Amino acid sequence: MLSESVEALNIKPNGRYVDVTYGGGGHSAAILEKLDDGILIAFDRDTDAQRNLPEHPNLLFINQDFKYIKNHLNYQDLIPVDGILADLGISSHQIDVPERGFSFREDADLDMRMDRMTEVTAADILNKASEEELVFIFSTYGELPGSKKLARLIVAQRNGRAFRKVSDLVTLADEITSPKRRNRYLAQLFQALRIKVNGELEALESLLMNSESLLAKNGRLVVMSYHSLEDRMVKNYLNTGNVEGIQVKNEYGVLQKPFRSVFKKPIIATPEEVERNPRARSAKLRVGERI
């Protein structure tokens, strides 16, 4: 949904826009095409993203996690901005590099770090987290059935042999799931670990809660998510001004929220796009306008 997300920004040729998930650079390239003397600030904590950077006078790239967006924009004197775009989750170029450990289809080290300068890997979590912590990670971040059983088996196995490779985890998971639902189970399991390793939900909450102070009046917040945890946070924030979905009213009974939802329902991919890009099947695009 590249075109839909860029169109949702309602770009002004002289405006300021932020792509907080540069990745392969597709969204940024589309935004830059619409700018004259405006500026695009792109964030990505993965150093590999810099390989996709074009030489463009309107582009400022910041190799940092977008949870630090407010600090960097303030330092660059770029507040307020006219639009913020976030395409959450994992980038295709990260999945396509087997040694990063994001995919269960290729054997590699259990890494999953988007920023390889950080210390904690997926293997560290599997080998060091308590059984209770593992249950929380699998059930909350992956919504994985049988999380207690999986956590118990992981703790039992690591006492004799540490988890190091993707195959170590896949082999264990294959023992407790049926071939029919294997791919979905592994996808949820790897999603849970990736979210924990990279602190993805904490970063999203920080972005949402800072967006009010970063955006100009009528500025757009455009967020594409790929699983229910992220989408629920975005939906709650746009409807109530907080990720918990708690309604806060003033003394006159008026709901206090900084955004209005541009569309009543999230935009989803067309059947044609899903056929071209199966990952788009789970995508939901929500758009808020700063009041």
Closest C-alpha among 9, 14, 47, 46 to residue 28: 9
Prediction pTM value: 0.94
Let me know how long the chain is. Answer: 291
Task: Report which secondary-structure segment, H or E, holds 41.
Answer: strand 39-43
* Domain architecture of the chain: domains with CATH: 2-92+200-290 (3.40.50.150), 95-198 (1.10.150.170)
Tokens of 91: 């980038």
> What is the b/e burial string over 120-140, where b = at least 16 CB atoms within 10 angstroms of the residue's CB?
ebbbbbbbebeeeebbbbbbe
**pLDDT for 98:** 86
34-87: pLDDT as tens digits: 999 999 999 999 998 898 899 999 999 999 999 999 999 999 999 999 999 999
Q: Mapping DSSP to helix (H, G, I), strand (E, B) and coil, where does residue 176 land? A: coil
139-165: pLDDT as tens digits: 999 999 999 999 999 999 999 999 999
16 vs 81: CA distance, rounded Å: 5
**pLDDT for 217:** 98
According to DSSP, residue 215 is labeled: E
* CA angle 81–202–234, rounded 5-degree value: 60
Residue 93 in this model has a pLDDT that exceeds 80: no
DSSP string spanning 92-156?
A: HHHHT-GGG---SSS--BS---SSTTSS--HHHHHHHS-HHHHHHIIIIIS--TTHHHHHHHHHH
Single-letter amino acid, residue 239: N
